[in-house]
Amino acid sequence: MQMNPNKDTRLCMSLSGRPGNFGLRFHNHLYEQLGLNFYYKAFSSQDLTGAVGGIRALGIRGCGVSMPFKEDCIALVDELDPSAAAIQSINTIVNTDGHLKAYNTDYIAIAQLLETHQVPKDSSFALRGSGGMAKAVASALRDGGYKHGVIVARNERAGRALAESLGYEWQAELGPLRPQMLINVTPIGMTGGPEADQLAFEAEAIVAAQTVFDVVAIPSETPLIVRGRAEGKRVITGLEVIAIQALEQFVLYTGVRPTEEQFQAAVAFARS
Active site residues: 70
Nearest to 217 by CA among 195, 236, 203, 201: 236
Q: Distance between CA atoms of 121 and 107, rounded to whole angstroms? A: 17
Q: Distance between CA atoms of 220 and 238, rounded to whole angstroms? A: 6
